[in-house]
A and B are shown apart, each in its own frame.
Chain A
Amino acid sequence: MADLEENPFADATPIKPSYPSDDLSSNESEGLSQIDQVQPSANAFDTQQREKTHFCCEIDRILHAGDFHIAVSNAQKTSDGGGSSYITYSIRLVEYEVRRRYSEFESLRRGLSKLYPTVIIPPIPEKHSIADYATLPSKAKEDLIIEKRKRMLQTFLNRVATHQLLKNEHVFHKFLETGISWNEVLHAPPLSNLPKNILQISPANLPSTNPNALSSQQQISQQPPLPNPSASQQLKNPDTRFIESEMFTNKFANHLSQNMEKTNRRILKRLGDLSNDYAELGATYNTFSLDESEDLATAIEKIGQAVDSCFVATGNLITSVETDFSEPLQEYSQFAQIIKQVLKYRHMKHLQMELTTESLEKQKTALENLERSEQEAKRLEAALKNHGGTEDLNRPRRLSAGDAGQSRDSDDSENRGEFEREHNGINSGGGKQLKKRRSTLFSVLSHTLHGIMDVDPEASRRSSLGKTRESIIQLEEALVTTTKDLKIISSAIQADLDRFQRQKIHDMREMLLAYAKHHVKWCDTNLASWQEAKSEIEKIK
């Protein structure tokens, strides 16, 4: 009572200013959330880390038998009949052969990264930029780019096929299987069930998720919508391990793309120029030798040959370093970006959990306040009954003040809930969204009107009380889910990061070795031809 007295404006103040524009703007875009609850992939079964006895298909069996190689070969220009043409790549695994185009690789990769948000899905070669097309002067250069794509697509498929989790994915098997229309795979579960926003589902396909995938699926579909954090939000209690991972990934990504790739590319570019100069120089020596006679002519001719072989050897060096060093380097640069995405997913899940906790606490406070005023109301009512009608005039006014404040509070929390829901429901049908928005607007208005007019303060208070309790139950459920999800996600990501680190060291070893060996070969070839030239010069009298 006392604080009510102290706030002379309390009853006069309109409701709106406390949540000025936020309410409206969020309400405007609010949508229905329930419909896009998604069935997680049925393949959750396959991800069990146990000795596999049941194979979902023949390709699954082949991939688990080990000692296989997926070859991408024979890029072919195919016309779709409508005038536009595209390139298909022939993929071969044992007796299976299928042709897929770049966009199909792209959708496979996209599908995998949604099905396995905690896995570092290997990259596919980058799309040609428009600049690439514009600066493509020759067929030869185009062929080079296609060759490079073939190699990188092949690496992609083999990396997926040897990944502990990914190799079980039936969607992937279908990609490799002869005679399967990829378009159908894309429009069938599990891919067709995936929501646009994967934050709304618990990650399936994880070894530690509920072994009974179907029932967990049911649970999820009933589970209340989870909050959708914005990417720029900071965590209150960040996980130190992942802070480090994030920092490292950023540094690694920067160093690779800003430094390593650039300096490496410069060397290759310069070697290419130099190689062309050698070609010209070799030709000059050959002309020179024709103008000279006897020993000197032979000697100069040999030098010309040495320079020519230098030209050829340098060309070979460039091609080999390009294939065995630059391309993997580029791949790792992409890997770093992919890891960023995976870590971001974890970050969002973490935020989701923190936001849930936060809302829960707010709702709890709101509930407490509501309950307190309910108590007070009861007490006042009892007192009124005892006193008779003496204070009749005052009662409603005071109550209305208190009630208005409360209802504003409850509006606040309810609106927030709606705000969250609206985010979740972004993807639902437009019509429904509009309808829902209207009804929400209407309810807000009626709330406000009720508050001001104090039509039935008790009824509105009780309804907020009920709503708050309901929302607390939902939030508690959500908190359980998000907390569990976060734990699973974190350990799954950590596991894949560990795997990735081992793979990276292995690949780097191979890259560096290839780099050194190609340089040895370059020196060796050149050494031989220059030594030959030298012995010829020694013969000059």
Chain B
Amino acid sequence: MSSSYHEDEYNSVSWDTPATDILQSRSFLNESDDIADDTEQSTYANTNTDSMYTSFTAPAPSLAKHTSPLTTTTAAYPMTITVTDPLNELDGTRDTFVSYLITTDTTLETFEKPTVSVRRRFQDFVLLYNTLTRDFPACVVPPLPDKHRLEYITGDRFSAEFKERRRASLQRLLNRLARHPTLQRSEYFRIFLESREWNAESLYRQKRISEGVFDNLGDVLMNAFVKIKKPDGRFIEIKENIDKLEENLQTIERLYQRIVKRQSDLEADYEDFGNSVVGLSQLETGISDHLNKFANVLSKFSVALRHLRVGEEQDYLHQIRDFLSYCHCVKNVLKLRDQKQVDFEDLSDHLQQATTEREVLINTGKGGTGIGSFLRETVDNIKGVDAEKAKQERLVKLESRINELSREVDSSHDESNGFSEEVVKEYEIFSQSKADEMKEYLLAYTDSHVEFFKEGKEMWESLIPILESIRVHV
């Protein structure tokens, strides 16, 4: 086990990882059944980056006992998580933070009780996110809410409005996790939802994760411009779908920023007009009562408009923004998948090169073509090295390199394929999630409109008999 700690420094994405590594992590997984209850060790298992490929193709260690293998199921267990009751902790000190009450209802047998409650702060979510991203690179781990640095500076992060906005965002994050068949069962998520010794544990993890995440990031950046040789139609389509979705949501978001501004101006306009009518009621004393009632409706109408606008601004707009970052996560996973394919294609190229070289060497007796081989031969000749002996030596070297590369190609092929399969499944999960979330958001969105127009209709209708009661003799 201790060797694995050192292997941790390798990343599976780099093609020169020793081939034994994968084998080792597999054997490690086989053991993991026994250590499932040992938190620290299971932590180790999950944080071992080498296992990231296997950890989703094979059943998660702790779940093996209860569920059918994950590779054959994408259905999520019923799991309801609520985020409520934001609380200022260590209030009055410099270390004040906000904690949220997280209550989980689930029939998953890994949980001690069907209902568990814990308090977690934002940093804990960050930790959860980082851990899951690291452990399940092929999974679309739902994104964290914005960090909102400005609020941290101004101290607004303790305002009720900010806490509510963040609570709603965290709620969405946990909903997405609860809906995800793999992530909902992950050990670390369980600990996050259940553990009472969270603090000690999280400190330990924090240290470990800060080493790994950076490497992953570097990989993605390094390979951002690498082109895939044989693009996979499935992922092109997924990418296109996500792009379109993003574009549509972005347009709506952009439009809504303008609309919300106008609506808020309109509220003020109706309010002002109401005041004008009040002014008129002071002049037209004969109908001042009617005019005041009219003004009152104008002001109520302005409040209803405000209610609608705030709903759109604080719910709908944030839901869209949150969903956009979810889309972004999908795209990141797609990028990672592309990377896997690029790795495989690169390795195949190297293998191809080595094989060609060997063939050339056998057929011509020359160590390849071109100026390089010519120079080497010339040098060898000068040194008086026996050409045949040198050729044999190089052939042996080449042979072992080809063997090594073949293994690499095979494993990276498996890895790339496995990753791809997983991403296809992830996209399905994401699509379902999208349908669920869109339904939820759009329903709330239309509800608030229905409510507004109903309310508006009632208040204006109530005014008609009042106005009709104005008696005039012309």
List the interface of chain A (C-beta within 8 A of B): 248, 251-252, 255, 259-260, 263-264, 266-267, 270-271, 273-274, 277-278, 280-281, 284-285, 287-288, 291-292, 295-296, 299-300, 303, 306, 501-506, 508-509, 512-513, 515-517, 519-520, 522-524, 526-527, 530-531, 533-534, 537-538, 540-541
A332 to chain B minimum Cβ distance, whole angstroms, is: 10
**In whole Å, how far is B99's beta carbon from the nearest beta carbon of chain A?**
35
Q: Which of A260, A278, A504, A534 contacts B276 (CB 8 A)?
A: A260
Interface contact A306-B460, CB-CB below 8 Å: no
Residues B272 and A263 in contact, CB atoms below 8 Å apart: yes
A284 with B255: in contact, given A263-B272, A516-B464, A538-B443 (CB under 8 Å)? yes
Contact at B470–A267, with CB atoms within 8 Å? no
A284-B248 in contact (CB<8A): yes
Flag the segment in B44-52, B257-265, B345-353 that touches A. B257-265
Cross-chain contact B255 with A280 (CB below 8 angstroms): yes
Contacts of B262-313 to chain A: CB distance below 8 A? 262-263, 265-266, 269-270, 272-273, 275-277, 279-280, 283-284, 286-287, 290-291, 294, 297, 301
- A505 to B: closest C-beta gap in Å: 5
Given A263-B273, A524-B457, check contact A255 B279 (CB 8 Å): yes
Task: Give chain A nearest CB distance to B419 CB in angstroms.
Answer: 26
Among B245, B255, B284, B456, the residue within 8 A (CB) of A523 is B456
The tally of CB-CB contacts under 8 A between chains A and B is 157
- Segment 446-474 of B: residues with Cβ below 8 Å from A: 446-447, 449-450, 453-454, 456-457, 460-461, 463-464, 467-468, 470, 472-474
How far, in angstroms, from A531 to B446 measured CA to CA in the complex?
7
Cα(A21)–Cα(B7), bound, Å: 114
> How far in angstroms is the closest Cβ of chain B from A512?
5
Is there an interface contact between A530 and B449, defined as CB atoms closer than 8 Å?
A: yes
Closest 6 CB pairs of A and B: A523-B457, A527-B453, A523-B456, A288-B248, A506-B472, A534-B446
**B224-259 at interface with A (beta carbon < 8 Å):** 241, 244-245, 248-249, 251-252, 255-256, 258-259
* Cβ 8 A contact of B266, one of A271, A295, A520, A530: A271
**For the complex, what is the distance from the CA of A252 to the CA of B285, rounded to whole Å?**
12
Contact flag A303-B446 (CB < 8 Å), given A255-B279, A296-B435: yes
B266:A274 contact, CB within 8 angstroms: yes
| Contact residues in A for B258 (Cβ distance below 8 Å) | 277
Q: B362 contacts the other chain (Cβ, under 8 Å)?
A: no
The residue from A274, A288, A300, A519 contacting B259, defined by CB atoms under 8 A apart: A274
Decide: A513 near B467, CB < 8 A? Known: A263-B276, A291-B248.
yes
Complex Cα distance, B255 from A306, in Å, reads 16
Contacting pair B279 A277 (CB below 8 A): no
Interface on B for A, CB 8 Å cutoff? 241, 244-245, 248-249, 251-252, 255-256, 258-259, 262-263, 265-266, 269-270, 272-273, 275-277, 279-280, 283-284, 286-287, 290-291, 294, 297, 301, 434-435, 438-439, 442-443, 445-447, 449-450, 453-454, 456-457, 460-461, 463-464, 467-468, 470, 472-474
B442 touches A520 (CB 8 A): no
Measured in the bound complex, the distance between the Cα atoms of B260 and A277 in whole Å is 10
Contacts of B472 in A (CB 8 A): 502, 505-506, 509
Measured in the bound complex, the distance between the Cα atoms of B269 and A271 in whole Å is 10
Q: Which residues of B contact A303 (CB under 8 A)?
A: 442, 445-446
**Complex Cα distance A285/B453, Å?**
20
Are B269 and A277 in touch, CB under 8 angstroms?
A: no
Q: Given the known inter-chain contacts A255-B280, A267-B273, A530-B453, please indicate yes or no for A274 contacting B248, CB distance below 8 A.
A: no
Interface of B: prevailing SS: helix
Which residues on B sit within 8 Å (CB–CB) of A541? 435
Which residue of A252, A517, A537 contacts B439 across the interface (Cβ within 8 Å)?
Answer: A537
Q: Is the CB of A291 within 8 A of B280?
A: no
- Asked whether A540 lies within 8 Å of B259 as measured between CB atoms, the reply is no
Chain A interface main SS type: helix
In Å, the complex CA distance between A537 and B443 comes to 6
Q: Are A505 and B286 in contact (CB under 8 A)?
A: yes
Q: For the complex, what is the distance from the CA of A281 to the CA of B251, rounded to whole Å?
A: 8
Complex CA distance for A541 and B447, rounded to whole angstroms: 18
Measured between alpha carbons, how far is A538 from B445 in the docked complex, in Å?
12
4 extra interchain contacts, Cβ-Cβ under 8 A, other than A503-B474, A509-B468?
A: A264-B273, A267-B273, A274-B262, A288-B248
CB-based nearest B residue for A284: B251
* CB-contact partner of A513 in B468, B473, B474, under 8 A: B468
Asked if residues B269 and A517 are in contact (CB atoms below 8 Å), the reply is no
Residue of A nearest to B444 (CB): A537
With A516-B460, A520-B461: A526-B449 Cβ-Cβ less than 8 Å: yes
**Which one of B269, B283, B445 lies within 8 Å of A270 (CB-CB)?**
B269
Q: Are B280 and A285 in contact (CB under 8 A)?
A: no
Contact yes or no, A506 B443, CB < 8 A = no
**Which residue of B has the minimal Cβ distance to A269?**
B269
- Residues in A whose Cβ lies below 8 Å from that of B265: 270
Q: Which residues of chain B are within 8 angstroms of A531 by Cβ–Cβ distance? A: 450
Looking at the complex, which one of A266, A506, A519, A538 makes contact with B269 (CB distance below 8 Å)?
A266
Distance A522 CA – B286 CA, assembled complex (angstroms): 30
Bound form: Cα–Cα A285–B249 in Å: 9
The CA-CA distance from A524 to B255 in the complex, in Å, is 25
Q: Give the contacting residue for A509; candidates B435, B460, B470; CB below 8 A.
A: B470
With the chains together, A83 CA to B244 CA distance in Å?
A: 57
Complex contacts, A266 vs chain B, CB 8 Å? 269, 272-273
Q: Name which residue of chain B comes closest to A295, CB basis.
A: B435
Nearest B residue to A162 via CB reads: B474
Do A508 and B284 touch (CB < 8 A)?
Answer: yes
A348–B275 Cα distance when bound, in Å, is 36
Please determine whether A516 and B467 come into contact, CB atoms closer than 8 angstroms: yes
